[in-house]
Amino acid sequence: EIVLTQSPATLSLSPGERATLSCRASQSVSSYISWYQQKPGQAPRLLIYDAFNRATGVPARFSGSGSGTDFTLTISSLEPEDFVVYYCQQRTNWPLTFGGGTKVEIK
């Protein structure tokens, strides 16, 4: 099973700041990493797929990068609605796995 480790668990930033979220895989997943955003009480929403492709309707302030085992989700300038939880997920091997999540909170 491919284990995804997200860091940090909590990121404390202010609106307008840049957020950098990390996802590290226990073995290479090529570029098959997706990022999801989850707001309280809501279902997750696909933000980024295959490492750097923005999903439909996702604002340009969200970007993804990386390959192999190390991936990054960057939010260039945090908006108030961005202070929620983010998960990475790999689709290289079964079982599909998610990281433990990073919560972005207001500092």
Q: Which stretch binds another protein (CB under 8 A): 12-20, 60-68, 74-82, 96-104?
A: 96-104
Q: Which is nearer to another protein, 14 or 94 (CB)?
A: 94
CA angle 21, 23, 29 (to 5 degrees): 145
Per CB under 8 A, 36 contacts another protein: yes
d(CA 103, CA 100) in angstroms, rounded, equals 10
Q: Which is nearer to another protein, 36 or 77 (CB)?
A: 36
**CB neighbours of residue 23 within 10 Å:** 29
Mapped onto helix, strand or coil, the DSSP state of residue 47 is strand
Per CB under 8 A, 46 contacts another protein: yes
Output the CA–CA distances (angstroms, integers) from residue 57 to 27, 35, 47, in the order listed. Answer: 31, 14, 9
Residue that has been written with the tokens 């997920």 in this structure: 89
Identified binder of another protein from the candidate list 34, 71, 82, 83, rule CB under 8 A? 34
Per CB under 8 A, 84 contacts another protein: no
List residues binding another protein (CB under 8 A): 32, 34, 36, 38, 42-46, 49-50, 55-56, 87, 89, 91-92, 94-101
